[in-house]
Structure 1
Amino acid sequence: MLHSLSLSLCGFIRLDMSEFQERHEVAKFIGSPPGYVGHEEGGQLTKKLKQCPNAVVLFDEVDKAHPDVLTIMLQLFDEGRLTDGKGKTIDCKDAIFIMTSNVASDEIAQHALQLREEALEMSRNRIAENLDDVQITDKITISKQFKENVIRPILKAHFRRDEFLGRINEIVYFLPFCHSELIQLVNNELNFWAKRAKARHNITLLWDREVMDVLADGYNLHYGARSIKHEVERRVVNQLAAAYEQDLLPRGCTLRITVDDSDKQLLKTKDSSFSAGEGRKAPTLRLEIVEKDSKSRKLDIQAPLNPDQMSYSI
């Protein structure tokens, strides 16, 4: 990947590589040759690179692209130029090319979880030994041995060409979220709905720290940040929508989200998905209206809360 950080970037180009899964779709990438339909339109990539040859180019989900598309990208990454369907050469040596892929994501995730467990155990041992330099951190690093012995063979088996992998300058690994990061995601999601409730209905939404821990337990390793978004919608937004439809929310009121059952299990499961544990009741969230005297009154929301019957009106 050829790049020059000193140059100011004039744009950002994103291509969804799932649109180039078939061989004939190569024409969409660089443009149709003379005599074919769409010849004058040009390719999705070449047309944009002509306009901005020093752009940041994102090839999203590159593992879904047809092998013929990868062949075109070999020239692009090696020489910093690309020949379009009309035979014209586009010089883009100052562009930055980024690719994303879900190949080996399960192996990376499981390895990262194992490393976090080992780091946590080391921290516990240090605390037990009363060492003065105890540092508990969520930061972990994937070893070079794991990258070479596990990840690279998977990449080679999928892309089937060493020359393609050899033109990649750097591979960045996205690891599963740690608990502190999940708390930030939950907080951001709750803030989004709190601003929406305030803007539309002048309703102030508050929540306890314990609520964020419970919602963070809904993290699913395979669905990433989306699982947090869905958990907040399922356990909080559905209740807000139901309370609103049942006329339980006076305009301008203050609502607090609390935990009904605080005997909860924090994010310690190996697959990072919520589990109430054997014989344990999963903690539930409830909505309370904060009165003027600072006392709280629990909302009596009619059950069941069926997500299929809910309408997000806040």
Structure 2
Amino acid sequence: TTLDEYRKHIEKDAALERRFQPVLVGEPSVADTIAILRGLKEKYEVHHGVRITDNALVAAATLADRYIGDRFLPDKAIDLVDEAASRLRIEIDSLPLEIDEVERRILQLEIERQALLKEKDKAALERRKSVEEEIAELRERSSAMKAQWQAEKAAIGEIQQIRSELESLKGEVDQATRRGDLQRAAELRYGRIPELERRLEEDERRLAEVQTKAKYLKEEVDAEDIAEIVARWTGIPVTKMMESERERLTRLEQELAERVVGQRQAVSAVANAVRRSRAGLGDPKRPTGSFIFLGPTGVGKTETARALAEFLFDDERAMIRLDMSEYMEKHSVARMIGAPPGYVGFEEGGQLTEAVRRRPYSVVLFDEIEKAHPDVFNVLLQILDDGRLTDSQGRVVDFRNTVIIMTSNVGSGIIVESGGPEDETAWARVEQRVRDELRQYFRPEFLNRVDDIIVFRPLSREDLAQIVDIQLRKLEETLAARSLHLQVTAEAREFLAQQGYDPVYGARPLRRVIQRELQNAMALELLEGNFREGDTIRVERAGDHLRLVPAAAVPEMASA
């Protein structure tokens, strides 16, 4: 039984307790788990009919220990091996993907051929001829592939049968030895078992020969299979990086800069943290990265977190966001980690801890941290240092695979006053003044645990021109869903950038300008039926406002 169950049911009855001798069984280490897995390996190989490599066992123990926090060794490592082996067994018994694709293509062409039989024109006859030729070619290819697959499957089946027989004979040897039937034990150990081992070796060699032409079946579980199961259980990418992902990670700065304009330092710091983590060089006891983003409103602090979430999960909403203005009271800390025992909501858990338990690989955004009560930051200390947090029910939540981003407007007055000087020396002085002001708000032990404090520059007119393009691209996507196209002249773009430029408020006024000058007029035109599906809306500047005209009605467009 577990310690909790023992305390609850047995310890309270002293008469019952003294009739038992408690034996404490601790969780085995990773090395012990590997030894346990090696002992179980043959039984699982026979049960699933696949071979399990030693590096798969090592990967199961190490990855389970590193990434699966809510269960114990060796149980979680055994489950990984079991699931990876059963998945491979199902793949062996199912039709391989390559053959399945050819079969589906044949079926598709057969349907097309039947439809063409009713047609009598020349084009249909020619098409039918080419379809029949393709069907014949694909059938030939399919039969060759199936023959290869059946040969592999038969060889693997024989190997599985011999392994199963070997396992039962080894069990019989043990039984014969125990009951003293040494003649039977010797007969099996030195006769039948070596013969089966020789046959197994021959069959494995024959399988290797069959697979030299083509390989449709994989009959051994390796470390990559284990990593795939871990990735599926936890959502943490621990599999080997594909070439496409390597390329994306090397140009992560460019990908983030497409959305976050004019903040090279912030983008670079976040990109380096993600690369360290995926390359396996990050500190295994701390979060992937922890940052404080400082700067005036509307310069891209929250947008950087959104862009990172979109890069990692292909969805900018896949981000755990806590608005710290909701944590202004001292007692609101309980909302983060859960209410203490005896209080309402004890069973529900905390907003932060529950979200990270469900998605251990995520971007956690603490927005506008200066608005929170100072006691909230005591909770963050062990997250930043140890990558863990204990919730109100005593469960340890793992933060080691999260990127922690905290945003703040502290010192934004200093940045706006300075106007974001181009000169690096002058900017370094501004940064120092902002950091000094930050130290007045937060304790040294909190700031000392953060990986990097990044000061965002105010947006220049050139930056805003780029943001105009980004915002208009989003509007184009919205219109494309209604089969409409957008064409904005250079003068109109310049007008939007001029109207939306405000160094104090950043890029947010631009969104309001686009709504006021463009979207309001566009909504009215669409409701009046002036633009229909397939039309191109051309946006031109007309003095101190914008004008919408159908692109077809503009004569110079034809020559353009």
**TM-score of Structure 1 vs Structure 2, range by shorter chain:** 0.5 to 0.7
Residues in 2 aligned to 1:12 and 1:249: alpha-carbon distance in whole angstroms = 38
* Counterpart check, 1:16 vs 2:297: no
Gap runs ≥5 in structure 1: 120-139, 262-282, 297-314
Residues in 2 aligned to 1:52 and 1:291: alpha-carbon distance in whole angstroms = 50
Secondary structure of the residue that 1:100 maps to in structure 2?
Answer: strand
Secondary structure of the residue that 2:468 maps to in structure 1?
Answer: helix
- Structure 1 residues 138-181: Cα deviation after superposition (integer angstroms, max 9, x where no partner): xx687443323x1123212223x222222222012222222332
- Structure 1 residues 246 and 42 mapped into 2: Cα distance closer, same or farther (>3 Å)? closer
Residues in 2 aligned to 1:39 and 1:251: alpha-carbon distance in whole angstroms = 54
Amino acid at match of 1:156: R
Higher relative contact order by CA 8 Å / sep ≥ 6: 1 or 2? 1
Q: Which shows bigger deviation, 96-105 or 188-197?
A: 188-197
1:189 is aligned to: 471
Structure 2 matches for 1:162-241, cutoff 5 A? 162-200=444-482, 202-217=483-498, 218-241=500-523
Deviation of 1:194 (Å):
3.5
2:431 is aligned to: 147
Structure 2 matches for 1:72-151, cutoff 5 A? 72-111=379-418, 113-116=419-422, 143-148=427-432, 150-151=433-434
Deviation of 1:28 (Å):
0.8
- Structure 1 residues 49 and 249 mapped into 2: Cα distance closer, same or farther (>3 Å)? closer
Q: Normalising by the residue count of structure 1, what TM-score does the alignment of the two structures yield? A: 0.67
* Counterpart check, 1:46 vs 2:353: yes
- Structure 1 residues 142 and 39 mapped into 2: Cα distance closer, same or farther (>3 Å)? farther
Amino acid at match of 1:192: K
CA RMSD of aligned residues (A): 3.1
Deviation of 1:234 (Å):
0.9
Q: Normalising by the residue count of structure 2, what TM-score does the alignment of the two structures yield? A: 0.40
Residues in 2 aligned to 1:54 and 1:251: alpha-carbon distance in whole angstroms = 42
Equivalent position to 1:284, from 522, 525, 545? 545
Residues in 2 aligned to 1:51 and 1:100: alpha-carbon distance in whole angstroms = 24
1:34 is aligned to: 341
Secondary structure of the residue that 2:549 maps to in structure 1?
Answer: strand
Secondary structure of the residue that 1:286 maps to in structure 2?
Answer: strand
Residues in 1 aligned to 2:472 and 2:319: alpha-carbon distance in whole angstroms = 30
2:441 is aligned to: 158
Secondary structure of the residue that 2:446 maps to in structure 1?
Answer: helix
Secondary structure of the residue that 1:257 maps to in structure 2?
Answer: strand
- Structure 1 residues 35 and 183 mapped into 2: Cα distance closer, same or farther (>3 Å)? same
Q: Which shows bigger deviation, 166-175 or 240-249?
A: 240-249
Residues in 2 aligned to 1:221 and 1:89: alpha-carbon distance in whole angstroms = 44
Structure 2 matches for 1:1-12, cutoff 5 A? 5-6=277-278, 12=319
Deviation of 1:27 (Å):
0.8
Residues in 2 aligned to 1:51 and 1:204: alpha-carbon distance in whole angstroms = 41
Amino acid at match of 2:440: A
- Structure 1 residues 5 and 250 mapped into 2: Cα distance closer, same or farther (>3 Å)? closer
1:256 is aligned to: 538
Alignment length (residue pairs): 248
- Structure 1 residues 56 and 232 mapped into 2: Cα distance closer, same or farther (>3 Å)? closer
- Structure 1 residues 43-86: Cα deviation after superposition (integer angstroms, max 9, x where no partner): 12222333454543222222221111111112222333323223
Deviation of 1:293 (Å):
7.1
Deviation of 1:242 (Å):
3.1
Deviation of 1:250 (Å):
5.8
Deviation of 1:105 (Å):
1.9
2:179 is aligned to: none
Deviation of 1:203 (Å):
4.2
Residues in 2 aligned to 1:240 and 1:55: alpha-carbon distance in whole angstroms = 38
- Structure 1 residues 180 and 84 mapped into 2: Cα distance closer, same or farther (>3 Å)? same
Residues in 2 aligned to 1:224 and 1:79: alpha-carbon distance in whole angstroms = 36
Deviation of 1:285 (Å):
2.1
Between the aligned residues of both structures, percent identity stands at: 38
Residues in 2 aligned to 1:55 and 1:290: alpha-carbon distance in whole angstroms = 44
Mark the structure with the bigger radius of gyration: 2
- Structure 1 residues 36 and 178 mapped into 2: Cα distance closer, same or farther (>3 Å)? same
Deviation of 1:291 (Å):
4.1
Residues in 2 aligned to 1:287 and 1:152: alpha-carbon distance in whole angstroms = 47
Residues in 1 aligned to 2:477 and 2:400: alpha-carbon distance in whole angstroms = 44
* Counterpart check, 1:64 vs 2:371: yes
- Structure 1 residues 221-275: Cα deviation after superposition (integer angstroms, max 9, x where no partner): 33322211111111122222333444544665443222223xxxxxxxxxxxxxx
Residues in 1 aligned to 2:434 and 2:506: alpha-carbon distance in whole angstroms = 20
Amino acid at match of 1:31: G
Amino acid at match of 2:549: E
Residues in 2 aligned to 1:93 and 1:291: alpha-carbon distance in whole angstroms = 57
2:54 is aligned to: none
Gap runs ≥5 in structure 2: 1-272, 281-287, 289-311
